[in-house]
């Protein structure tokens, strides 16, 4: 397993004193598994993290955004595989349809007021077509790892201090025409992120750390930059005046610096320690921007568990066969 420790090394000049210190052996800490989504959930609201990851509760309904995003990812993935290997796995549009229809038919789906199944289907088709055109126009290529396998939807793990395992699923590792290596995450938001968000993103910072730790196996020296590929989900206009779904301007940023990486690691370790200690605080914030207003477990939380309407226990997790963690088919963790 790739370990990350260099950025936590003691600063130069801290010479070890010749003093013998005796201490009682400490009990090994319980191993904590985190990912960006789990980490973000905990920082948004510790109580909701507990509902999901400790109490193993879930809502019966599923947001259409979740299934739509996964279906668009699948369509883009099969296109990227074909571009990288010449192997046509499936038509990208058909891959989207298969994933989207499976999601809609196997869940109770919640739609916002401006979306329905047919509307999202049409937008998905257009976004995937635009993505393929945009990707080719930029001259981007998928990186092949040391075994010649495209680095697409690659699951990687690293070991942080204090028995913390961090998992990342890299959407795509790409090479620019001038040879720069970019770790890219595909998004399907309703609007373009604010200027400077890519630089601040803890998700992409964490991905840089993970990819760097696996650089040799991935056939690269290091990550040179980070980027979001934003496929903007807008309704198809009924007239020629509307803009509709588009690909946002692509603006990669450079590597995160060591100070930012240290802060990210220390915060991740602090979250792990809170989880071990059973600290799952509510974080309602202030009334004008409370995350509670958008929480799908708000009624359950406010009723202290008395109102189970729309909430159920997750199905029992049955682990799959575990492969070595250094590979892209590493041991499955139920996030």
What digits encode the pLDDT tens for the residues 94-149? Answer: 999 999 999 999 999 999 999 999 999 999 999 999 999 999 999 999 999 999 99
Spatial CA neighbour of 141 closest among 172, 187, 96, 169: 172
Q: How confident is the model at residue 241 (pLDDT cuts 50, 70, 90)?
A: confident
Domain ranges for the chain, please list them: 31-282
According to the model, what pLDDT value does residue 243 have?
Answer: 86
What is the CATH code of the structural domain delimited by 31-282?
3.90.320
* Cβ–Cβ under 8 Å, residues 37 and 58: no
Please say whether the beta carbons of 112 and 68 come within 8 A: no
Question: Residue 197 pLDDT more than 90?
Answer: yes
pTM of the complete model: 0.85
pLDDT higher for 36 or 3?
36
The predicted pLDDT at position 10 comes to 40
Written as six digits, the tokens of 7 are: 């950025």
**Alpha-carbon span 75 to 267, nearest angstrom:** 35
Residue 294: partners with Cβ closer than 8 Å, 6 or more residues away: none
């Amino acid at each position: 397993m790739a370990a990350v420790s260099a950025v936590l090394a003691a600063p130069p000049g801290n010479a070890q004193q010749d003093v013998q210190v005796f201490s009682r052996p400490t009990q090994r800490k319980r191993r904590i598994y985190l990912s960006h989504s789990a980490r973000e959930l905990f920082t948004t609201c510790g109580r909701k993290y507990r509902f999901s990851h400790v109490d193993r509760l879930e809502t019966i309904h599923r947001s259409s955004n979740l299934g739509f995003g996964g279906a668009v990812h699948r369509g883009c993935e099969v296109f990227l595989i074909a571009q990288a290997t010449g192997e046509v796995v499936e038509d990208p549009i058909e891959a989207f349809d298969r994933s989207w229809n499976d999601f809609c038919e196997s869940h109770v789906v919640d739609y916002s007021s401006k979306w329905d199944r047919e509307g999202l289907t049409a937008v998905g088709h257009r976004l995937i077509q635009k993505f393929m055109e945009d990707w080719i126009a930029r001259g981007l290529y998928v990186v092949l790892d040391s075994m010649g396998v495209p680095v697409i939807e690659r699951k990687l793990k690293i070991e942080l201090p204090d028995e913390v395992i961090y998992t990342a699923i890299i959407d795509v590792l790409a090479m620019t025409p001038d040879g720069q290596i970019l770790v890219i995450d595909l998004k399907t938001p309703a609007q373009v992120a604010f200027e400077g968000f890519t630089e601040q993103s803890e998700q992409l910072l964490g991905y840089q750390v993970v990819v760097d730790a696996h650089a040799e196996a991935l056939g690269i020296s290091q990550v040179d930059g980070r980027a979001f590929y934003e496929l903007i989900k807008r309704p198809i206009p009924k007239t020629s005046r509307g803009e509709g779904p588009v690909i946002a301007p692509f603006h990669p940023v450079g590597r995160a610096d060591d100070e930012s990486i240290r802060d990210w690691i220390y915060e991740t370790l602090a979250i792990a320690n809170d989880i071990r200690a059973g600290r799952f605080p509510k974080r309602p914030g202030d009334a004008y921007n409370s995350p509670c207003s958008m929480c799908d477990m708000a009624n359950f939380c406010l009723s202290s568990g008395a109102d189970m309407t729309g909430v159920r226990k997750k199905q029992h997790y049955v682990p799959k066969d575990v492969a070595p963690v250094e590979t892209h088919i590493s041991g499955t963790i139920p996030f």
